[in-house]
Amino acid sequence: WFTQVSREISPTATLVSVGIDSAKNLADQIETIQKTMRDEPQKYWKDNTMQERYRELLTARDKYAARVA
Write the DSSP string, the chain: -HHHHHHHH-TTTTTS-TTS-HHHHHHHHHHHHHHHHHH-HHHHHH-HHHHHHHHHHHHHHHHHHHHH-
| Alpha-carbon gap, residue 22 to 27, rounded angstroms | 9
pLDDT at site 7: 53
pLDDT at site 21: 72
Please state the pTM of the whole predicted model: 0.69
Q: How many residues does the chain have?
A: 69
Q: What is the pLDDT of residues 8-58, one digit of tens each?
A: 555 555 555 544 577 788 999 999 999 999 999 999 999 999 999 999 999
| Alpha-carbon gap, residue 7 to 9, rounded angstroms | 5
pLDDT at site 64: 82
